[in-house]
Amino acid sequence: MAKNKLQQFAEMDTFKHVFHATYDVLKNGDYKLKGSWLNFFNNNNKIVAELGCGKGEYTVGLAQQNTHNNYIGIDIKGARMWRGATTVNNLKINNVAFIRTRIDFIEKIFAKNELDEIWITFPDPQKEKRRKRLTSPMFITRYQNVLKPNGIINLKTDSRLMYYYTLELAKTNNFEIIINTEDLYSSEYANEKLSIKTFYEQMFLKEGKKITYLKFRINDKPVIDTPISEEIIRGY
C-alpha cells in the first residue's frame, strides 16, 4: 500500500543519509554539518549538489554512475525526496545524502569551497520573478560562496526562458561556457550522464518539448544581471 506523507516523513527520519535543515535551526546560525560534509561521507571525494532535486533521479543516477564522487540532493519538498531517499536506502548506496531545506540557505549549509559542482534540473522558470530564478545573480553569488574556484554549474531545462536567461547571464559575466545545446537529444552530448530523466523531464518529453543543456564555469567576480530585457529573452 502507498505510504502517506506522515509515514514517508517518519521513515525518512530513520535514514542516516537524510537531513532536515529547518528555518528555525538556520535562523540562529549555520547548519551543524557545514564544512564537514566529507566527514559524513568518510572520504575525500568531490561533492556535487543537485538543487531542487525533486524525487532525486539525478542525485541517485549520477551517484550510481560515478561512485568516486559524493552527491547531495536538496529540495524543500520532503514527500518528493522520499522516493530518492528510499532508493538509496534499499540499494545501500553510500555516496548520497539528501537535505530538506530551502536552496536560499545554501551558504548556511555548505562552507566556502565545499562543493565542486552544482546541477539544476528543470527548475521553476519563475516567469514573473527574474530575481528568484535559480540562476539569477542573487543565487549565483550564493553559489560562488560554496563552490570551489571556477566551480561548474549544469542547467538542464525545457524552459526556453530559463535557458536563454542563463545563457545571456553567463555571457555577460564572462563565465566559460563548456557545453551549450538547445536540443540535447539531437546533439552529440546525449551521453549516459545527460540521459538520466527526471520526473519533470519525462512529462516535458511526452509533451514533445526539446530539452536544453548548459554547462558553465563561474568565476569569482561580482555577478551582474544581463542587460538584455525580459521582453527580448522571452521572445527568443
Residues serving a catalytic function are 124
Using rule CB under 6 A, residue 61 touches ligand SAM: no
What is the nearest approach in angstroms of ligand SAM to the Cβ of residue 55?
A: 6
Separation in Å, CA 209 to CA 9, 99, 154:
33, 30, 19
Using rule CB under 6 A, residue 107 touches ligand SAM: no
Separation in Å, CA 137 to CA 54, 106, 192, 231:
23, 14, 30, 18
The DSSP secondary-structure symbol of 175 reads P
Using rule CB under 6 A, residue 73 touches ligand SAM: no
Residues of this chain, 205-224, that bind ligand SAM according to CB under 6 A:
none
Using rule CB under 6 A, residue 138 touches ligand SAM: no
H runs (alpha helix) in the chain: 5-13, 23-26, 37-41, 57-65, 78-91, 106-109, 137-144, 160-172, 199-206, 230-235
Using rule CB under 6 A, residue 8 touches ligand SAM: no
Which single residue is written with the C-alpha cell 551543524? 32
User: Which positions ≥6 away from 129 have C-beta within 8 Å?
Assistant: none
- Residues that bind ligand SAM (rule: CB under 6 A) add up to a total of 18
Cβ proximity to ligand SAM, 104 vs 171, nearer residue: 104
Q: How far apart are CA 38 and CA 12, in angstroms?
A: 21
Using rule CB under 6 A, residue 158 touches ligand SAM: no
Among 8, 97, 98, 123, binds ligand SAM (CB under 6 A): 123
- Here's the x/- map for ligand SAM, 169-208, by CB under 6 A: it reads as -----------------------------xxxx-------
Stretch that binds ligand SAM, among 34-42, 85-93, 99-107, 177-185 (CB under 6 A): 99-107
Interface residues toward ligand SAM, by CB under 6 A? 52-54, 75-77, 80, 102-104, 121-124, 198-201
